[in-house]
Amino acid sequence: MSDQPQIGRILVVLGVVLAGLGLLLTFAGKVPGLGKLPGDFAIRRGNFTFYFPLATCVILSLLLTLLFRVFRR
């Protein structure tokens, strides 16, 4: 029974992460420049389009790393 508080904390953290991800997906299209940075690749050939947001992924990864390091301490 001593594991219940730990499981409760894990569920709360997962809920907050899911809510944050939902907000991010909802408002991501409204952030100017996000997804259109130099280093975001878009290849268009006829009716086929391949889009890979490399620079956006790197910046988001750095921001999330810094955020998690701040909350870890």
Provide DSSP, 6-40.
HHHHHHHHHHHHHHHHHHHHHHGGGSTTTT-STTE
Higher pLDDT, 52 or 3: 52
Helix (H, G, I), strand (E, B) or coil at 3: coil
pTM of the model: 0.54
- pLDDT tier for residue 10 given thresholds of 50, 70 and 90: confident
19 with 37, same domain: the answer is no
Question: Residue 42 in contact with residue 58, Cβ under 8 Å?
Answer: no
**Domain containing residue 37:** 32-73
Averaged pLDDT of the chain = 83
Task: Please give the structure tokens belonging to residue 52.
Answer: 């890979």
How many domains does the chain fold into? Answer: 2
Question: Residue 27 in contact with residue 5, Cβ under 8 Å?
Answer: no
The stretch 22-51 carries a mean pLDDT of 82
pLDDT exceeds cutoff 60 at 39 = yes
What pLDDT, on a 0 to 100 scale, did the predictor assign at position 46? 92
19 with 45, same domain: the answer is no
40 with 70, same domain: the answer is yes
What pLDDT, on a 0 to 100 scale, did the predictor assign at position 73? 66
